[in-house]
Amino acid sequence: VVSTQSTGDVAEVTENFGEMSKPGEEEDEEEEVFNKEQTLLEACYRAIKTSIKKADLPILTSAFYSQHVKGCCEHPVEIKHTKWKKLGTLLKELQDAGLLTVKEQKKGVQSITHIDFTHVLLRGVEMLEKEEEEEDEEEEDIAVVQAFTCNAHAAKFFSKFGYKKGDILTRKEIRASLTNYIRQQNLVVEGDKSRITLDPHLADLSKIKDVRCKWNDVMQRSEQAFGQCYVISLPGRIPITVKGKLPPIQYKVEKRTGNKVVTLISNFSIFGIEGKELAQRLQLLQSSSACVVQGVKGEEVLVQGDARKHATKLLLTEYKIPKTFVSSQ
């Protein structure tokens, strides 16, 4: 049995259908706006949960957004393209929700003075672990980053920011902490923003005797208060921290019995390279024998002939070792 409608009903349905937008037009537009705003909100939650410490407070609202929130965005989002338009409007919404407190400490300068780290909005925040793992699988380069170990002297100052002796800090983290401290303590010289006035804490950290000095001098001298180290990020592995100087991969060409030339390659293990694999690949490239031998400081690869050219190409193009850490002897 097929039901029928009157002509008037059909006309009404047809008219209403004509007023509707094409499938997906309004929905897509709304979804795009929602995604941008949701992405930015989740980045704020993620930054608070993973990047901000209680010791960082108070923190300038601009520093909170540029140094923490942006790095936690799953996709690039410009705040001016969202419903908030300005950072202050977004933070006011978060403040009204009870997540944080924003105060104007001096005219035109706003800081976040309190964060409720137990707030319900922070529950179940995803940490982008899956995205990072996928990127790691696609990224084959070995990353070598200079970092700094927090010793007892540096810890006296940086304990204000939640760091302790033995922690590893990047240059960016050191400079961000110093910048926040200098601005919060109003140490910028009035009329000369390129210079700051040292208080007793900064003077003790940097060992600078002058009362006033340039920003960069404070940053560089403060870094010298730390111990030096390197963090090596290997694809699919836990990063390795090497304290002190990082020895480069070295070649040593020697003459053996019967004027036979051999090449010894050392210091590759710290970069996650297995000696057996390196020997096999060099054997194919060099068209000569290669094997793993025990050296004074660990495994070495011994190759018949002068293999420096082939080894350098292999290390730089296949293993992606930064050129700085590949040298010859």
Separation between Cα atoms, residue 129 and residue 232, nearest integer Å: 19
> Of 19-28, 117-126, 135-144, where does mean pLDDT reach its minimum?
19-28
Separation between Cα atoms, residue 82 and residue 200, nearest integer Å: 44
- Residue 186's pLDDT is 94
Q: Residues 255-289: pLDDT tens digits?
A: 988 889 999 999 999 888 999 999 999 999 989 99
pLDDT beyond 80 at 131: no
Which band of pLDDT confidence, cut at 50, 70 and 90, is reported for residue 128?
low
Please give the average per-residue pLDDT across 34-46, as a whole number: 85
- In degrees and rounded to multiples of 5, residue 248 shows phi and psi of -75, 165
Separation between Cα atoms, residue 329 and residue 325, nearest integer Å: 13
Please give the average per-residue pLDDT across 62-78, as a whole number: 87
Which band of pLDDT confidence, cut at 50, 70 and 90, is reported for residue 301?
very high
Which is more confidently placed, 160 or 2?
A: 160
Percent of the chain scored above 90 by pLDDT?
47
Q: Distances from the Cα of 65 to the Cαs of 50, 60, 74, 81, 91, in angstroms?
A: 14, 9, 14, 15, 10
Average predicted confidence (pLDDT) for the chain: 83
Is residue 169 a contact partner of residue 161, using CB atoms and an 8 Å limit? Answer: no
- Residue 32's pLDDT is 43
